Amino acid sequence: MSTKDKAASAKTASIKLAGLSTKTKNEVLSKISEVINKKADEIIAVNEKDIAWSQKNNLPEPLIKRLKFDKKKIKDVTENINSLISLPDPVGKTLSATELDKNLELYKVSCPIGLIGIIFESRPDALVQISSLCLKSGNAVILKGGSEAQNTNKILFEIFKEVSESNGLPEGWIQLIETRSDVNELLRLEKYIDLLIPRGSNEFVKYIMNNTNIPVLGHADGICHVYIDKDADKDMAINIAFDSKTQYVSVCNAAETILIHKDVAQKILPVLKSKLDEKNVEIYGCNKTCTIINANQATENSWSTEYLDYKCSIKIVESEEEAIEHINKYGSHHTDAIISNNEETAKRFMEYVDSANVFWNCSTRFSDGYRYGLGAEVGISTNKIHARGPVGLEGLVIYKWKLIGNGHIVADYVSGNKKFIHKKIY
Amino acid sequence: MSTKDKAASAKTASIKLAGLSTKTKNEVLSKISEVINKKADEIIAVNEKDIAWSQKNNLPEPLIKRLKFDKKKIKDVTENINSLISLPDPVGKTLSATELDKNLELYKVSCPIGLIGIIFESRPDALVQISSLCLKSGNAVILKGGSEAQNTNKILFEIFKEVSESNGLPEGWIQLIETRSDVNELLRLEKYIDLLIPRGSNEFVKYIMNNTNIPVLGHADGICHVYIDKDADKDMAINIAFDSKTQYVSVCNAAETILIHKDVAQKILPVLKSKLDEKNVEIYGCNKTCTIINANQATENSWSTEYLDYKCSIKIVESEEEAIEHINKYGSHHTDAIISNNEETAKRFMEYVDSANVFWNCSTRFSDGYRYGLGAEVGISTNKIHARGPVGLEGLVIYKWKLIGNGHIVADYVSGNKKFIHKKIY
């Protein structure tokens, strides 16, 4: 089947998916979780083949690490499916209701988006996670994983497909495509695909965003900031900056730049540096920073660099205003934190920093669907429409307007025979 | 100033707009409404110049009609501004709140999207309407109107700019661009513009959608259907089909195709035809339709034609399922209605028709922000994400996540020292 035919088939199935009961969806999820557990040995053996191939082809070590799908991963993904089952169904919720006139009632009701395209690199657990989220939210899905994980992806996909389609889900609701040329075809299928979610490196996500007319949910860069205000508690500031930078460096919500108010730079910088030295963090500092501590000279480029490594840019700012401007100019509108004991300053920061996540006195690393309590995460979005920040099930639904009348026609309202009452009923 | 500089300036202003109080926004709106009234004669004189120019250049009569900005239009737009003032501020609403842990609280708070680009043809009232909506929702705006309305647009724009900027709004929040080449530059400014709203003909909207990476909110086609079910009340069916088709033919929510269940076709078609004859509606019927009434032969193309005229496609279907499939295949996912006294059939129709607006026993013409009671309308969207159907103020806002801690770091939760409690507090 061509990619286009797969997408058309999934689109047709998506119509039926929209009408599935919560019970059916949860039962299917539960069976999928069971079968994954039952076939654990088989899945692991297949995954070992993928790993062996990747090692033979000298793929980078971190990629091979992410590719690994062992007993622990299987436990994680099946636990995640089980916790997804316990979440409320996002579909069919009445969001508002208005009586437009006697016996003419308008309901705004949540419904699935339709067909979601997921393109991901490496991690086969992403396949399980996102397919489960799509199933629970009633969306059809077309998946493209990394070629290094193709055997693992295939067996997981087949479990999803077989278990779901033999238990009441419409045929073709889940599709797998495998080659790079399929991806380029996928990006042109705006007629069928309603939303694309890419998960992978910056370059990968940027490529997707720049080469399709389909709406894309996600983020490319994660250039996050910690701003240490003049009214910051010194120990708290150092602790949070250290956690934001070093707790896990290769993720999008790790801090890349630390901004420090000039009034506290002398006091804080030397202590901060010795703390960062514990993890051998390489510092790129502005001119003033370099006069206070020993650091590499930052360039204009440093402020928009996502290191994803034990490296860090540091800049001394004249004011909170300069910090906000710097963040809005160089940041990626992902996650930015202020450390301050001044409530007014902090509130201003959270108001005027134009990012999906704005934090006060806590680490940027909290920016995550699990930590937010969303239960499950599709990804983190830096979009300015639809869904922003960590996106859970609610990012996979939209709504439709249902209007129920009793023969009502517009001519009566235009002529003045009848008048709207517009009474909120929900 | 270049279009890019205008966009950059508006983007900078958008940050400040996000922090404006409801009081300031309402006061400015009220002053703008006053000044429009005060300058009515001047505006009308300028508009007459535009009309004279358009007549001299033989622009189509309907376009010139839409261009007209007279006493009545001024009354309409100022009344609309006044009713907008009375609507609740969509910005700063807490949408949800969760206690992640002791003294670590997460708030999801609505905020403006940022910078909205509006491209519209003809009607200068669109400028007033959309600029007011942007102001109320705290968004900066960059406007491009039709060249035939340029003098009217300019005076209205200047009123908005002068009154608002001298009353506390940040300089540059509203921008006007004037030439067609500016539009093409605008479409490439994804760095600054967060959302584009085009208002105009199908071709115009399609052109915008196909030529930008900026998210576009709107609709191109409006191919709406009325499906007359076998359990329909005959009189109601004819009344609603007639209203949907003829009440105002040149609008997107007018019906273009009527589908009739085969069991009632014999009974309903002749009466429907004589009703449509009252307005000289030209009918394009399927083979079976043509055996029952006198009609032009429909072609495959008829089912996807938006007439916007006293013309109508009619098809006899075997079942509700065929009607739903036809609508999902040929429709534009805008507004579709079923006429039936069978609740189960109607509910199924509303579930499985994949349109922004699905109606039961009422006219497709109700699909409209004013009629829905949204107070004001940005436009009607057939997008599958963000906002769907008639879009009011809520379509111009998004949210940000505000996390407030007291020195919280992620390392404590990863090590197991601390545990999330995830208690819903709102």
Contact criterion met (CB below 8 Å) for B201 and B222: no
Contacts of B215 in chain A (CB under 8 A): 215, 383-385
Nearest C-alpha neighbor of B332 from the set B216, B221, B209, B201: B221
Classified as helix, coil or strand, A191 is: coil
Contacts of A388 in chain B (CB under 8 A): 398-401
Phi-psi region of B47 (alpha: psi -120 to 50; beta: other; left: phi over 0): alpha
Query: Given CB atoms, is B394 within the 8 Å cutoff of chain A?
Result: no
What Å distances lie between residue B292 and B11, B234, B287, CA to CA?
60, 17, 9
- What's the CATH code of the domain at A12? 3.40.605.10
User: Is there a single domain that holds both residue A245 and residue A164?
Assistant: no
Q: A98 forms bridges with which residues in the sheet? A: A106, A424
Q: How many domains does chain A have?
A: 2
User: Is there a single domain that holds both residue B159 and residue B212?
Assistant: yes
Query: Given CB atoms, is B239 within the 8 Å cutoff of chain A?
Result: yes
Rounded CA separation B332/A412 (Å): 26
Rounded CA separation A100/B370 (Å): 10
The token duo for A133 is: 């989220």
User: Is there a single domain that holds both residue B11 and residue B112?
Assistant: yes
pLDDT at residue B377 in the model? 87
User: Is there a single domain that holds both residue B181 and residue B250?
Assistant: no
User: Is there a single domain that holds both residue B188 and residue B245?
Assistant: no
User: Is there a single domain that holds both residue A361 and residue A304?
Assistant: yes
- What's the CATH code of the domain at A232? 3.40.309.10
For A269-297, the pLDDT digits (tens) are 999 999 999 999 999 999 999 999 999 99
Classified as helix, coil or strand, B249 is: coil
Confidence of residue A336 (pLDDT cuts 50, 70, 90): very high
Query: Given CB atoms, is A356 within the 8 Å cutoff of chain B?
Result: yes
Residue type, A83: S
Contact criterion met (CB below 8 Å) for A102 and A57: no
Give the closest of B357, B383, B403 to A366, CB-based: B403
CA closest to A100 among chain B residues: B372
Helices (H), A137-286: 150-165, 180-186, 202-210, 234-246, 262-277
Query: Given CB atoms, is B371 within the 8 Å cutoff of chain A?
Result: yes
User: Is there a single domain that holds both residue B83 and residue B203?
Assistant: yes
User: Is there a single domain that holds both residue A159 and residue A242?
Assistant: no
- For chain A, count helices (H), then strands (E): 16, 17
Q: Residue A97: inside a domain, yes or no? A: yes
Residue type, B276: L
pLDDT at residue B346 in the model? 98
Residue type, B67: L
User: Is there a single domain that holds both residue A175 and residue A236?
Assistant: no
Contact criterion met (CB below 8 Å) for B289 and B259: no
Q: A170 forms bridges with which residues in the sheet? A: none
Q: How confident is the model over A362-386, as a mean pLDDT?
A: 93
- Report the relative pairing of strands B224-228 and A357-362 from DSSP bridges: unpaired
Q: What is the pLDDT along chain B (426 residues), one digit of tens a residue?
A: 899 999 999 999 999 999 999 999 999 999 999 999 999 999 999 999 999 999 999 998 888 988 999 999 999 999 999 999 999 999 999 999 999 999 999 999 999 999 999 998 878 998 999 999 999 999 999 999 988 999 999 999 999 999 999 999 999 999 999 888 888 999 999 999 999 999 888 888 999 988 998 999 988 889 999 999 999 999 999 999 999 999 999 899 999 999 999 999 999 999 999 999 999 999 999 999 999 999 999 999 999 999 999 999 999 999 999 999 999 999 999 999 999 999 999 999 999 999 999 999 999 999 999 999 998 788 999 999 999 999 999 999 999 999 999 999 999 999 999 999 999 999
Give the closest of A14, A361, A383 to B404, CB-based: A361
Mutation to test the A interface, candidates B100, B335, B362, most A Cβ within 10 Å: B362
Q: Residue A76: inside a domain, yes or no? A: yes
Residues in chain A: 426
Give the closest of A100, A242, A384 to B373, CB-based: A100
Q: Residue B415: inside a domain, yes or no? A: no
CA B191 to chain CA mean position, Å = 24
Restricting to B residues 107-166, those with a Cβ less than 8 Å away from any Cβ of A are 113-114
Q: Tell me if A408 and B357 make a contact (CB, 8 A cut-off).
A: no
Q: Residue B421: inside a domain, yes or no? A: no
pLDDT at residue A200 in the model? 84
pLDDT at residue A134 in the model? 97
Q: Residue B35: inside a domain, yes or no? A: yes
Q: Tell me if B401 and A388 make a contact (CB, 8 A cut-off).
A: yes
Contact criterion met (CB below 8 Å) for B390 and B377: yes
The token duo for A20 is: 């599935």
Q: Residue B212: inside a domain, yes or no? A: yes
Contact criterion met (CB below 8 Å) for B297 and B282: no
pLDDT at residue A63 in the model? 85
DSSP code of residue A40:
H
Q: Residue B113: inside a domain, yes or no? A: yes
pLDDT at residue B63 in the model? 85
User: Is there a single domain that holds both residue A282 and residue A346?
Assistant: yes
User: Is there a single domain that holds both residue A31 and residue A137?
Assistant: yes
Q: How confident is the model over A315-330, as a mean pLDDT?
A: 98
Residues in chain B: 426
A39's CB contacts (< 8 A; 6+ apart) are A155, A159
* Residue B131: CB atoms within 10 Å: 27
For A1-24, the pLDDT digits (tens) are 899 999 999 999 999 999 999 999
Domain boundary among B372, B388, B418: B372
pLDDT at residue A377 in the model? 87
Query: Given CB atoms, is A247 within the 8 Å cutoff of chain B?
Result: yes
Q: Tell me if B388 and A403 make a contact (CB, 8 A cut-off).
A: no
ipTM of predicted complex:
0.95
User: Is there a single domain that holds both residue A51 and residue A108?
Assistant: yes
- B31-58 in b/e form (b: 16+ CB < 10 A) is bbbebbeebbeebbebbeebbebbeeee
A185's CB contacts (< 8 A; 6+ apart) are A2, A3, A4
Rounded CA separation B196/B187 (Å): 8
Q: How confident is the model over A230-245, as a mean pLDDT?
A: 98
Q: Residue B314: inside a domain, yes or no? A: yes
Query: Given CB atoms, is B45 within the 8 Å cutoff of chain A?
Result: no
Query: Given CB atoms, is B15 within the 8 Å cutoff of chain A?
Result: yes
Q: Tell me if A401 and B113 make a contact (CB, 8 A cut-off).
A: no
What Å distances lie between residue B20 and B92, B162, B193, B358, CA to CA?
10, 17, 20, 37
Contacts of B98 in chain A (CB under 8 A): 372-373
- Report the relative pairing of strands B335-339 and A282-285 from DSSP bridges: unpaired
For A86-140, the pLDDT digits (tens) are 999 999 999 999 999 999 999 999 999 999 999 988 789 989 999 999 999 999 9
Phi-psi region of A115 (alpha: psi -120 to 50; beta: other; left: phi over 0): beta
The domain containing residue A313 runs over which residues? 224-372
Q: Tell me if B383 and A215 make a contact (CB, 8 A cut-off).
A: yes
B36's CB contacts (< 8 A; 6+ apart) are B43, B74, B77, B78, B81, B128, B156, B159
The token duo for A131 is: 């397919």
Query: Given CB atoms, is B360 within the 8 Å cutoff of chain A?
Result: yes
pLDDT at residue A180 in the model? 81
CA closest to A421 among chain B residues: B373
Restricting to B residues 269-328, those with a Cβ less than 8 Å away from any Cβ of A are 324, 328
Contact criterion met (CB below 8 Å) for B269 and B237: no
Restricting to A residues 189-228, those with a Cβ less than 8 Å away from any Cβ of B are 194-195, 209-210, 213, 215, 217
DSSP string across A61-91: HHHHHHH---HHHHHHHHHHHHHHHHSPP-T
pLDDT at residue B201 in the model? 84
Give the closest of A209, A386, A406 to B361, CB-based: A406
Contacts of B404 in chain A (CB under 8 A): 346, 359-362
Contact criterion met (CB below 8 Å) for B186 and B144: yes
CA closest to A333 among chain B residues: B400
